[in-house]
Structure 1
Amino acid sequence: MDFEAVTKFIQKTFQTETFLPLHEPRFIGNEKAYLNECIDSTFVSSVGAFVDRFESDFAAYVGSRYAVATVNGTAALHIALLLADVQQDDEVITQPLTFIATANAISYIGAHPVFVDVDKETMGLSPDALQIFLEAHCKVSDARCINTTSGKIIKACVPMHTFGHPCRIDEIKALCDQWHIALVEDAAESLGSTYKNRHTGTFGALGAFSFNGNKIITSGGGGVIVTDDEDLAKRAKHISTTAKIPHKWEYVHDEIGYNYRLPNLNAALLCAQLENLDRFLEDKRMLASIYEPFFSSASITFVKEPQSSRSNYWLQTLILNDKEEQEAFLSYTNDHGVMTRPIWRLMNKLEMFKKCQCGDLSNALWLEDRVVNIPSGVRL
């Protein structure tokens, strides 16, 4: 591979020869105006008009009945798993090829991740691998999925839509329904992505999104839980607000709760960011249309949206030939001012998850040695 030509092409695409980050936020709308309005109101914490407005606007955008805003995506996933009745010592099936937050949120409850392979085409949880694992290791008893290898209850399944590319979520849902497993979508990276004309995060009982500083829209942090279930939405709001019973002056809390509500300041930013989301998505698709023919001509695999999907192309992704080429590519580009990165280290290779049960992870291992992300920010 001609690393120099690739580096220069990426710099030319972004019209810069200075340091080029992997992704950076864009604030081109009403962010400052809404922040000033929020400050003038003095409601800057977790109560305020912008929190309510953002939850309403976000639910409408993705097509869910309810949205509950949280301080970050990890908190959103943690609460979603609690709402799915995941308890200490339960098991949760997820993919090993994911950001650490997925496995951390499971662990916060004292539950145990079980790692099942991904599809090469989507880099998300494979329904084929999931079916093989369930048929080999599980049985249904009293409307519960029991892992016959560990003896534990498999309470939930958490697929992740990797880099914004939807996994085969309808097939995963069908398996979860068949095996009495709650489906909780980690949609942290997939705002603006749809599968069969339905927004990611809305197939399961609950979905979780992130607004970290490197996401398509951001408030520096932030997350949100989406659901169509009114009772789940009310409970999400309750336990993410320290489980305080509403009262004008008394402080009474009826269960263990979490201080996870999104501050009004952050919500003000997100309201403004959401107004420009469609423009950001259009630019990312345009960037993909520039990248794809260049890398195809260089015999490099550029990851395109999967079948039946419309991807947000959050992070533009290449699949190289092997580990040696991956390391050489990362070294050259980063040494020459173009930030690139590999995919995550597999969760089951991390010290705290080495003892977790795994299925055959051949695809995840293959991708770990080959995937790189290249600059993916919105160009104005």
Structure 2
Amino acid sequence: MKHPYLTDDHEIFRRSLRKFLEKEAYPFYDQWEEERMIPRSFWRKMGDQGYLCPDIDEAYGGSEVDWGFAVVINEELERVGSGLVGVGLHNDIVVPYITAYGTEEQKKRWLPKSTTGEIITAIAMTEPGAGSDLANIQTTAVLDGDHYILNGQKTFITNGIQSDLVVVACKTDPKANPKHKGVSLLVVERDTPGFSRGRKLNKVGLHCQDTAELIFEDCLVPKENLLGEEGKGFVYLMEKLQQERLLVAIAAQITSEVMLKQTIDYVKSREAFGKPISKFQNTQFKIVEMATEIEMGRAFIDQLIAEHIEGKEVVTKVSMAKWKLTDSARKIASECMQLHGGYGYMEEYEIARRFRDIPVASIYAGTNEIMKTIIAKNMGL
């Protein structure tokens, strides 16, 4: 059967990327986990090979390829490890805000260096007191002459430490009614006066992915760094969250596939009571149940990606995929660790890392509870 969005060109690209990662990522990933950081040199190498923002226009350094190539990149990075999520965030979450809502001057200023890895991007929505409830963010920006004066604090920001460019959700009109109409997006550059980094957060998983607090104290942001129109920030965020949640679902699917393969290899080689544990009926049933769940997830996500590439409205299906595939991945991680026995709890086995890394997928990009709320609303309930 013809694949819904991948062609021979995508598969050639996948082989090339996989070869690159086998040389530049797999051998160093454990070291990055220990160091709690992915080096900027890796970003530059990704950029040199054309693996950063390949879908943007050639005029800004991209290759103008379809989004299927982005899917391939995200899948192969996830196979290395979930800590590489920051690259996908840069490519397919933050940079699209600039390509969609930026002025020509902004695009020329920021996009070329985003494709080379000279600029690493982040998006700052979440605050200590506001997560999924974006309309109630407290960070404010007041226009004073040629600058906005930005004040507030953000937390759980992916690429927070290394970022050179941060898209910040803030209130330019705190008195707006309804509240979401007061939200705007400002782009804050590294070394902007009043911008500082707080703690590099110590997470349960995703150890090599830098996550941080960002602090804005009378931060002077040039008015030319307003992204799109004032008061449209909430609408922009809602438009782009569809792709962000799809990326999370793709990562969860890949993680499940990786964990199952590793577990099958393990149960075939590990013996108990004189035979491989793969010969025990309980093991077989568990493997079969997971394999079936994964096959069904793959069919759904592939069709969903194809619809997204075609530009279809898939918010409900994306919300379904995000909650279901991340929830399944958490359960599969637990089952796979159990089938590894005591070795599954040892750090030298990758299943331990996957077990640590996957739970957050049910939380970020909108919690799974929020996903169910969206689905229910769209079903007219």
TM class by shorter chain equals under 0.3
TM-score (norm 1): 0.27
Larger helix fraction of residues: 2
